[in-house]
Structure 1
Amino acid sequence: MLLPGTTRLLQRLLLLSTIATTHATVILSSSGHDGGNDEGALVAFKAKITGHSGVLASWNQSSSYCSWEGITCSKKHRLRVVALDLSSQGLAGSISPAIGNLTFLRSLNLSSNGLHGAIPPSIGALGRLQRLDLSQNMLTGDIPSNISRCTSLPVMYINSNRGVQGSIPAAIGSMPSLTSLGLANNSLTGTIPSSLGNLSRLTVLYLRYNYLEGSIPAGLGDNPHLWFFQVAINNLSGLLPPSLYNLSSLYELSIADNKLHGSLPPDLGKGFPNIEKIGMGANRFTGALPLSLTNLTKLQVLHIEQNSFTGVVPSELGRLQDLQVLVLEGNEFEANDEQEWGFIASLNNCTGLQFLDIGSNRFAGELPGSLSNLSTNLLWLRAYSNNISGAIPSGIGNLPNLEVLSFSENLLAGLIPESIGKLTQLNQLLLDANRFSGRLPPSVGNLTGLSILVARENSLEGLIPPTIGNLSKLTLLDLSNNKFTGLIPKEIMGLSSISRALDTSYNMLEGPLPLEIGEIPDAIGNCRVLETLLLDGNSFQGSIPATFNNMAGLTQLNLTNNKLNGSIPASLANITNLQELYLAHNNLSGPIPGQLGNSASLLRLDVSFNNLQGDVPEVGVFRNLTGLSIVGNNELCGGIPQLHLPRCPSSTARKNKKTMPKSLKIAIPTIGALLFLLLFVWAGFLYKKFKPAPEATIPQQFTEMELPIISYKDILKATDGFPETNVLGKGRYGTVFKGTLENQDTDVAIKVFNLQISGSYKSFQVECEAIRRVKHRCLVKIITCCSSIDQQGQDFRALIFEFMANGSLDRWIHSNSEGKFGQGALRLSQRLDIAVDIVDALDYLHNGCQPSVIHCDLKPSNILLNQDMRACVGDFGIARVLEEATSKCPINSNSTIAIRGSIGYIAPDVHRETDDMFKDGISLHYYAQAALPNKVMEIADSNIWLHSEANNNNDKTHITRTRECLSAVIQLGVLCSKQLPTERLSMSNAAVQMHAIRDKYISS
């Protein structure tokens, strides 16, 4: 029981307590939590930024940080930063760890800048974060695992930071709010964590363009909300989990460019009711396309190229009425009659179809007339490298929007239809390597948007249509290896747009060489920029026009095998960029112009089999025995001693020179001929008497090398019967075994060709021909070969090479999950030695052997390391000797029409970019150039730094020299990879510079 007045006292105390509490709350909200820490975090962030577009100019204390550009503060929590958005502002520098102090931050967007360094682990402290976007920067290092502490985060994008490496943190699978995860276009390794299957809200998963391996976790197929699934361009293997085929929500399935295998399930069409895009090209899938595929009625894009799919293409494809892109290229699909070609008629229902590629399959028979009834929206139609016969449908002109039309490498015959002239939007017309006859229709002159016209290797005849002169955008014209007659129309020779190549070689053209080609300026009034001019193998007469010297961009001029006369114009030496000049097998006379020796660019000169006279110069190209051919000119004299030409007589001696009696002129050749005949008969007798047995025969290329004879039985014994345990490697055309030849103590590598594979015979002959011509310390040494019969009476071919104890460079720069070898095992000094060996090998192949050899498949797996870790280039299975290449695949051509070798290769032995980050004007060349000179450590392999003694010892001098060394190597790569061949460093100069870099670094 309360005393009187107690109740009133308690009421007053309660009121005072309430007032005091309210006042304290006001004080706290206005002082202790006023956002002061946020301002400090922003100032620390700015301190780490070394460059920007001016966006941070407002970041000063003259105004509240809530008004700074890119900053958004909370309306509810006064002065607390909730958004930091500085995307696409040209930021450079690193991300300050102080970013973790912005604890109210809901959105952090620093995408599309030039930020480098590591991702701060302190981001894990941002518990309120709703969006994190660090894409398209130059960040490096691992993804911090404690980023998983952002448990409320729905959107996380760290795409396109090629320096980001390591594995995907498994802890990301414990972020329950995550709906969009983008880790594409980085350098991530390891496997896809199975924990990602726990992200039940995930709708978008971007993992493409990394180095991920292993199988795709089955749990990812259990997510009922997954919409985008992109894991293309990795090293994933195994079967697709069956659960993945049942994702009813899936819009895009992108698994291309991996090592996945298996066949598609028969009920494929039941599991993807909403699918619009399927990309599964460049894998190892087999089997037929299931008929149920045609139930995917929302499908717009189907990419299944570069697999091993077989059978007939379902004729009901027309049910996919929304289809826009269909790419079947590089499989084993068949069609031999009208019924099997039925899918083309069915596609007439796909009114939105824009891209159709059926190239490089096994399609045969005649093209159906229904091809002409495809969608008028069609942009690309490619059917190259098949066995298609018959004629091009005359209605081909019904596809008015075509930009690319390729029927290359088929058996098509008959006339090229006049209606082709209706395709006025064409950019590329490729009709090469068929059996077309008759005239090239004049209607091609209507294709005013055409930039590439290739009709080589057919039987086209008559005059070259002068209407081609209407094609003002034409950059490449190749009409070689046909039966064209008459003159080259002056309208064509006057086209200023032709810059890449003009090739009319090996026809029946005649008359004088056209003057117009050197007289017509380009579109902006400069000298002609044509790079390659091939007029060889015709019947051109008269002299070489002096106007050719106006073609400043010319790098290769081939006039071989014509009927040209007169002298060689000295003005040819004025062609600034000329590297190759071929004038052999003509009727040229007079002296060789000494000015050609003063040309700084000229690397190859062939004037053989003419009537040239007088002194051979001794400077420039005339000192390069591998790049000079002067044989068949019996009145030449002088030159460097290695040419073994007679000394040039003095003027007095020439006056007193007596003429050989006519009777002696007749007698000497007659006696020589008789002696030759006797020797020939005697050689035939010896051959019959001592002819070797078939078991011992070897190719002519190797008899010239005097290699020892070896039989199939010797190979069988050397390898212990070809067991799998002795396999060193496998390639397209055969298998390499480790073995030991009888009576020899050293191991050898034995390349056994699989003659059941189409092209293996040719590969064997090509490699024999190439190896016969080359011998260098940086090329794998050939010991012998075997051309014999196996135990089943089948042909047997093998090459025996020196054994390379340390395997391929590929094994040393691509580590596996067990850490065996791997790039971290290579020190910088070893990398420099290997680089020197490779450039030495290429310099020899291109410039040091005669004729030159283009490897055509240079890649890490074809570079082998010996016991001392020195590199040797091997595998010449698709090499080209330059004599063959000059008319078909010019060494300086930019054309990609005749690309040979593996991905990453473009002639002649130069890198080709395949990374998805290199697009929209960004190239590997640009990427490397942009890093020079201060950011080379950010683009170089981090293992160089991690395993450097300079790093471990914190030796600042050594650190500086290491950075300088890497900068020099990258600068050399930039010089060798310029867009125009005329701007690139020559291989000889590249080798000299690489030696200088290596010697300077190692000696220091």
Structure 2
Amino acid sequence: MLTGEFPHSLWNLSALRVIGVGLNMLQGSIPANIGDKFPAMRFFGLHENRFHGVIPSSLSNLSRLTDLYLANNNFTGFVPPTLGMLHSLMYLHIGTNQLEADNRKGWEFVTSLANCSQLQEFVLSNNFFGGQLPRSIVNLSMMLQMLDLENNSFSGTIPHDISNLIGLRLLDLGFNPISGVIPESIGKLTNLADLALYNTGLSGLIPSTIGNLTKLNRLLAFHTNLEGPIPATIGRLKNLFNLDLSINRLNGSIPREILELPSLAWILDLSYNSLSGHLPSEVGTLANLNQLILSGNQLSGQIPNSIGNCEVLEFLLLDNNSFGGDMPQSLTNLKGLNVLNLTVNKLSGRIPNAISKIGNLQYLCLAHNNFSGPIPAALQNLTLLKQLDVSFNNLQGEVPVKGVFRNLTFSSVVGNDYLCGGIPQLHLPPCPILDVSKNKNQHLKSLAIALPTTGAMLVLVSVIVLILLHNRKLKRRQNKQATSLVIEEQYQRVSYYALSRGSNDFSEANLLGKGRYGSVYRFTLDNEDALVAVKVFDLQQLGSSKSFEAECEALRRVRHRCLIKIITCCSSIDPQGQEFKALVLEFMPNGSLDGWIHPKSSKCSPSNTLSFSQRLDIVIDIFEAMDYLHNHCQPSIIHCDMKPSNILLAEDMSAKVGDFGISKILPKSTTKIHLNSKSSIGIRGSIGYIAPEYGEGSAASKLGDIYSLGIMLLEMFTGTSPTDDMFKDSLNLHELATAAFPDRALEIADQTIWLHETNYTDATDASMTRGIIQQSLVSLFGLGISCSKQQPRERMVLADTVSKIHAIRDEYFKSRMVSDLAGTLSPAIGNLTFLRRLNLSSNDLHSEIPQSVSRLR
């Protein structure tokens, strides 16, 4: 936890052989003449601090250096091209900085590193290296074990001679716009344990030579453009425990050989491809698998009963396929199952009662199938079940009211015309008390006796006709619902020229704001009166294309009243022949939350600031939106950049979360937070709001978002930005709130709150209101402090924060209501001391408030 400037005097200890100050918060820069200061230096480690400036070229004079760790700092500029003079260098880690290169300059150091024959680890992930990946990369040491180039912006293809690096154990090219095919020669890297090619532009077939990598543990090639069949040779990879080929263009059947890999113990994700055929019964061989994700394919036939042998499965996602028949009874063997998603298939029969024996089940999604019969009442016994969706089936009978059914929404049961009962919020018809079918039969029987034969036949024919007409009408209505769902997803198309016309050629007059990756303009679509916002991406800015893709990917998946709505997008060419990308979003007339917390005008008034109750309502909207992203949309989404400027306010001052440019989509339906997992994915968040663990290499997680929410919550009610100049050394917004908590909450509260609290009849009213706000502030600061703790495990989970913030708001408005009633209706109660002494409840208010008012209770 060391902070402050790195002492200059330490640079004078010329006998030093080791400098290791990693994992602190030290600042400063490396002296330009460092190469002349430490002739015996072997280990130089400044990693995971806040050092800045350029990497001096004189480092290459440290001829005995074996370890150079500069990762996770703020170094900028080009890497010295003379690093190849460090002939003893074994470990070079410069990832997660702001280093750069392009086709003109910056890649020379890679060529020079060919002289470092002892080099074993080379990490330059999470920087701004662009241009073509230099071919000289294949000339690095044959002893190289780790080559991590993830999350940069370089293009080109994977060199065929990559096979020269026969010592590689890890090769990570993920999150780069490289193209071309995976070369056949990759099969010669027989020592590979980790191969990461995800989020790239790679295309073509997966080479069959991949089966030669028999030491491979992880093969991650998701979100690329790979096509063709999955090679059966992957079945030779007996050490493979994580295989993710999702979001590609793969087709054909699922090779049985892959399903016979007993080593697959973490994830098998083949989702969102074009795989077809049956799911082979060999799936039951995957006895150690934790997650099986086959969503979004064209798989058909019955779900094999052998799936019950996968007894440690926690996530089973088979949604958006064409599976038919009954649900296999063997699913009840999966005692640890957390998520079961069978949405959008052709499954039929009854929902098995035995599902209620899966005690760990938290999410059960069965919508858009052909299930019939009642909803099993035994599902009420699943105490951990958080979400149940049985919409658009043919279910009938009474909806239970206990367990998960207490919080069920109408959208979870819609599309089942013969359901009844349930909690009042479902607005379903009440279930009949009498046995209607029995009475109807008796009535028809009496009619048949009373009427002549001809009359009875007419009645029977009429009944049949009525039934046929009803079924035809029901089918039309279901088809109409299905069609409307498809239409809803077909966004209108818009051209560059339409966007240009509607924003007056993207004029300054229509400019709403600028961000790192582009600008937002006010815009009117042709033949439309309503205003919308157009976010135009600056494709000259490194990372903007990724940001566009990430935002499209996130916004197309989400539906929530507190999330900014995408109307359409444009990926086109401008008149100069340059690539053009833009998003069309709903227009938010009151701008961003940041402008209301930190008004630009030097004169603050109620018209440009927020009241305490407005802030509470906005916080509710933000936390509910994040709860949806983390816990209720599939797959879960981590926003990664929560801050006031990304919260937009509608005309009624309701809040909506926007800017998903660096959001992370978790593996489908993953609900666990891997606190101990490390990642070299750069979190391009905003300083002041980024979770501390991201600087230590931790993967993006839900708890990282919670940290940002905690900081933003403190900012909203203190009016102090986390990047304010007052914060130096170890002082930050979290520490400021902690030091004032709980007794000095009013001292650090945003003083503009009181601009809205002026309508008092006397000093007593003002004092009472101030006391109520103080009590709420203490609760809010406590919540903000709990969310923004240094250690992720100590932070509150989002579901608890949502409950807490609702309780704070309810208590605040309840107290204000009682205060207002007391002040206006009863002079005696208006006295603060008397009110506290009475400690009135809702049951005895009538004794102090006039009788005519008590009827409103």
- Superposed pair shares fold, TM > 0.5: yes
Instruction: Give the CA deviation at 1:565.
Output: 1.8
Percentage of matched positions with identical amino acids: 31
SS in 1 for 2:331: helix
Q: For 2:734 and 2:26, how far apart are their aligned partners in 1?
A: 17
Instruction: Give the CA deviation at 1:426.
Output: 1.8
Aligned to 1:892: 671
Instruction: Give the CA deviation at 1:452.
Output: 0.6
SS in 1 for 2:561: coil
Instruction: Give the CA deviation at 1:569.
Output: 0.8
Cα displacement string for residues 928-981 of structure 1 (whole angstroms, at most 9, x for unaligned residues): xxxxxxxxx99995434544575999xxxxxxx9999999988889999679xx
Aligned to 1:532: 315
2:802 is equivalent to residue 991 of structure 1: yes
Q: For 2:645 and 2:803, how far apart are their aligned partners in 1?
A: 23
Q: For 2:680 and 2:639, how far apart are their aligned partners in 1?
A: 6
2:379 is equivalent to residue 565 of structure 1: no
Q: For 2:306 and 2:265, how far apart are their aligned partners in 1?
A: 17
Aligned to 2:252: 461
Q: For 1:325 and 1:809, how far apart are their aligned partners in 2?
A: 48
> Would the aligned equivalents of 1:263 and 1:286 in 2 still touch at CA under 8 Å?
yes
Aligned to 2:94: 280
Match runs of 1:463-862 below 5 Å: 463-466=254-257, 468-472=259-263, 474-499=265-290, 501-519=291-309, 528-625=311-408, 628-655=411-438, 661=463, 711-713=502-504, 716=507, 718=509, 730-732=515-517, 734-735=518-519, 752-756=535-539, 757-759=544-546, 762=549, 773-776=559-562, 800-801=587-588, 807=594, 839-843=623-627, 854=637, 856-860=639-643
Higher relative contact order (CA 8 A, sep 6+): 2
Q: For 2:53 and 2:731, how far apart are their aligned partners in 1?
A: 34
Distance 1:809 1:343, change over 3 A: farther
User: Out of 191, 194, 200, which is 1:401 matched to?
Assistant: 191
2:103 is equivalent to residue 320 of structure 1: no
Cα displacement string for residues 742-781 of structure 1 (whole angstroms, at most 9, x for unaligned residues): xxxxxx998843253425655665687689x4335xx78x
> Would the aligned equivalents of 1:766 and 1:879 in 2 still touch at CA under 8 Å?
no
Q: For 1:415 and 1:551, how far apart are their aligned partners in 2?
A: 33
Distance 1:572 1:840, change over 3 A: same
> Would the aligned equivalents of 1:808 and 1:865 in 2 still touch at CA under 8 Å?
no
Q: For 1:431 and 1:357, how far apart are their aligned partners in 2?
A: 15
SS in 2 for 1:758: helix
User: Out of 248, 258, 261, which is 2:73 matched to?
Assistant: 258
Distance 1:1000 1:234, change over 3 A: farther
The letter for the 2-side match of 1:407 is L
The letter for the 2-side match of 1:774 is H
> Would the aligned equivalents of 1:836 and 1:994 in 2 still touch at CA under 8 Å?
yes
Q: For 1:977 and 1:951, how far apart are their aligned partners in 2?
A: 26
> Would the aligned equivalents of 1:611 and 1:633 in 2 still touch at CA under 8 Å?
yes
Cα displacement string for residues 485-521 of structure 1 (whole angstroms, at most 9, x for unaligned residues): 554344432432112x11233444444323233356x
Cα displacement string for residues 206-248 of structure 1 (whole angstroms, at most 9, x for unaligned residues): 4433444464454656524472443333334333456555555
Cα displacement string for residues 440-470 of structure 1 (whole angstroms, at most 9, x for unaligned residues): 31x4344332211223334242353246334
Match runs of 1:175-214 below 5 Å: 186=2, 188-189=3-4, 191-213=5-27
Q: For 1:696 and 1:335, how far apart are their aligned partners in 2?
A: 32
Instruction: Give the CA deviation at 1:534.
Output: 1.3
Distance 1:878 1:551, change over 3 A: farther
Aligned to 2:773: none
Instruction: Give the CA deviation at 1:913.
Output: 3.4
Distance 1:595 1:312, change over 3 A: farther
Instruction: Give the CA deviation at 1:379.
Output: 1.3
> Would the aligned equivalents of 1:371 and 1:393 in 2 still touch at CA under 8 Å?
no
Aligned to 1:387: 178
Instruction: Give the CA deviation at 1:987.
Output: 3.9
Q: For 2:802 and 2:327, how far apart are their aligned partners in 1?
A: 35
> Would the aligned equivalents of 2:634 and 2:669 in 1 still touch at CA under 8 Å?
no
SS in 1 for 2:436: helix
2:733 is equivalent to residue 943 of structure 1: no
2:665 is equivalent to residue 877 of structure 1: no
> Would the aligned equivalents of 2:90 and 2:120 in 1 still touch at CA under 8 Å?
no
Q: For 2:120 and 2:494, how far apart are their aligned partners in 1?
A: 61
Q: For 2:474 and 2:350, how far apart are their aligned partners in 1?
A: 32
Where structure 2 has 5 or more consecutive residues not aligned to the other structure, the ranges are 445-459, 478-491, 525-530, 600-612, 706-729, 747-775, 816-835, 837-857
SS in 2 for 1:533: strand
Q: For 2:515 and 2:251, how far apart are their aligned partners in 1?
A: 42
Instruction: Give the CA deviation at 1:591.
Output: 1.0
> Would the aligned equivalents of 2:84 and 2:115 in 1 still touch at CA under 8 Å?
no
> Would the aligned equivalents of 2:211 and 2:236 in 1 still touch at CA under 8 Å?
yes
The letter for the 2-side match of 1:988 is A
> Would the aligned equivalents of 1:248 and 1:273 in 2 still touch at CA under 8 Å?
yes
Match runs of 1:104-119 below 5 Å: none
Cα displacement string for residues 565-598 of structure 1 (whole angstroms, at most 9, x for unaligned residues): 2100122123222122122232211111122244
Q: RMSD of the TM alignment (CA)? A: 5.9
Deviates more, 1:249-258 or 1:793-802: 793-802
Distance 1:604 1:912, change over 3 A: farther
Q: For 1:764 and 1:952, how far apart are their aligned partners in 2?
A: 38
Distance 1:452 1:288, change over 3 A: same
SS in 2 for 1:321: coil
Distance 1:581 1:806, change over 3 A: closer
Q: Provide the aligned length of Structure 1 versus Structure 2.
A: 691
Distance 1:233 1:914, change over 3 A: same
The letter for the 1-side match of 2:237 is L
SS in 2 for 1:614: strand
Q: For 2:532 and 2:24, how far apart are their aligned partners in 1?
A: 33
SS in 2 for 1:842: helix
Q: For 2:81 and 2:790, how far apart are their aligned partners in 1?
A: 53
> Would the aligned equivalents of 2:324 and 2:348 in 1 still touch at CA under 8 Å?
yes
SS in 2 for 1:387: coil
> Would the aligned equivalents of 1:359 and 1:386 in 2 still touch at CA under 8 Å?
no
2:162 is equivalent to residue 371 of structure 1: yes
Instruction: Give the CA deviation at 1:539.
Output: 3.6
SS in 2 for 1:285: strand
Cα displacement string for residues 18-71 of structure 1 (whole angstroms, at most 9, x for unaligned residues): xxxxxxxxxxxxxxxxxxxxxxxxxxxxxxxxxxxxxxxxxxxxxxxxxxxxxx
Q: For 1:438 and 1:200, how far apart are their aligned partners in 2?
A: 61
The letter for the 1-side match of 2:545 is S
> Would the aligned equivalents of 1:808 and 1:863 in 2 still touch at CA under 8 Å?
no
Distance 1:854 1:578, change over 3 A: same
Q: For 1:277 and 1:693, how far apart are their aligned partners in 2?
A: 50
Instruction: Give the CA deviation at 1:532.
Output: 0.6
SS in 2 for 1:913: helix
Instruction: Give the CA deviation at 1:354.
Output: 1.0
> Would the aligned equivalents of 2:87 and 2:116 in 1 still touch at CA under 8 Å?
no
